[in-house]
A and B are shown apart, each in its own frame.
Chain A
Amino acid sequence: MKPAEFYQRDRNWHAPALTPAYKTSVARSPRYSLISLENTPSEISGPRFGHNDIDPLDNDLLNNYAKAGESPIGERIIIHGRVLDENARPVPNTLVEIWQANAGGRYRHKKDTYLAPIDPNFGGCGRTMTDAEGYYYFRTVKPGAYPWRNGINDWRPAHVHFSVFGTGFAQRLITQLYFEGDPLIARCPIVQTIPDPAAIDQLTAKLDMNATIPLDTIAYRFDIVLRGRRSTLFENKLEGN
């Protein structure tokens, strides 16, 4: 696939940098405007990963940190979906990484001091490559809500962090998955940095009974959309072409 420019990012769809209700953004947001930069080969190229870079079980959080014969405690879920671009074309062979708290809302991180306990059988991270159709899946436990020092009584909705690459460095994306119906979504200052309710809905994974494994694991569907590629090719040949 020849490198091509990407559609411009819709900065009104994404959150602005300065969102004072999410307090940490106040001192960490640029005050000057971004300088718009037409794509060059530096932006339309990006790192590639191979199936040899990761282990096949890296996508199974029910097992990738559990002792032999044991499992993490919590609601067993499948998270699955496709990585597409804005033209609805699949993004194959791209790296998807996730991280999350355990069922009680506690992260396995030395900076997390929340009193809910660590689960000895749960690490909380996973990674996988999309297949030829852009499809990915993880097995995990549904994370719990947790409190954070923003407002005095702010709680994050249950969420899973996602990191996705695509084919060009300009597509690089980190986001968060939320779960359908969670009443904390509407109250969360981080979710609400996003101005458009339709954009927030795009981050909300939907219960997917057709993908559940009866008597075993319930499922949620989460499709991810990366920036689309222009149909016109880049005007210059890339170095090395």
Chain B
Amino acid sequence: MSNTPKYLKETPSQTAGPYVHIGLAPGAAGFDIYREELGHDIAGPNAAGERIRVEGLVIDGTGAPVKDVLLEAWQANSAGVYAHPESAGDVEEGFSGWGRVITDFATGEWGFDTVKPGATLGRHGQMQAPHINLWIVARGINVGLNTRLYFDDEDNTADPVLNSIEWEHRRATLVAKRTGDTYRFDIRLQGEDETVFFDI
């Protein structure tokens, strides 16, 4: 009788490729097939809190915008609660907390409309500063990249995740800059001011 633990191995990731839109945003690929594409509305009509827009570019190691990216967002509502079965009934009707956007084929700009999330509970009872979790896939990216978007008009100094980044100057790559109701968040995949990516 062997005591070797028996676990399955995770299915390996592969790139989403250049035609990810066919599966996950077919309207952008040039055809309508589904009754409704998923991920268009993160907050829904009933969500409390401040309505904001978040937008930016994804920039490659040569400095060029990447124009075939798919981004997904996952966030708490304005009270800091995730739309997870565990907290069913604690988020507004229609608030999914999840969004999916693609970059514009011509410019590489992406953006989504949502509500500003509240602070959420982290580990050891510590509060996390308001943030949006982002997942980025594209041609040339073998395993989806995880990052977090924080807000420049919040007090981020006590956030345990930001403070876990040893290089203090790199923390700024995770902070979106506010103009009016819009936060700008450019993601640099490689090189100068490379965005911090996490192994979550």
Contact = CB atoms under 8 A, between A and B. Distances in A.
Given A30-B189, A55-B34, A108-B29, A203 B11 contact: yes
A163 B25 CA distance: 12
A31 B190 contact: yes
A26 B84 contact: no
- Majority SS at the chain A contact face: loop
A124 to B, nearest CB: 5
Interface residues of A, number: 95
B120 A202 contact: no
Interface string A31-43: 1101111111111
B101 interface: no
A109 B124 contact: no
Given A64-B33, A172-B135, A240-B81, A27 B140 contact: yes
Interface residues of B, number: 85
Given A26-B61, A99-B22, A123-B31, 18 more contacts: A2-B86, A16-B142, A28-B139, A28-B140, A30-B197, A42-B122, A45-B74, A47-B83, A97-B23, A107-B29, A108-B31, A123-B22, A161-B17, A174-B144, A200-B12, A203-B14, A225-B9, A238-B84
The 9 closest A-B pairs by CB, nearest first: A99-B23, A24-B140, A47-B98, A240-B87, A28-B140, A45-B84, A15-B142, A34-B199, A27-B61
27 contacts: A8-B199, A10-B10, A13-B12, A14-B143, A15-B142, A22-B15, A27-B189, A28-B60, A29-B141, A30-B195, A31-B190, A32-B194, A39-B200, A40-B123, A40-B161, A42-B76, A42-B120, A48-B84, A54-B35, A123-B26, A124-B22, A169-B135, A174-B137, A176-B15, A225-B11, A239-B76, A240-B81
Interface of B: 6-24, 26, 29-31, 33-36, 38, 60-62, 64, 66, 68, 72, 74, 76, 80-87, 90, 96-98, 105, 120-125, 128, 131, 133, 135, 137-146, 148, 161, 164-165, 170, 189-191, 194-200
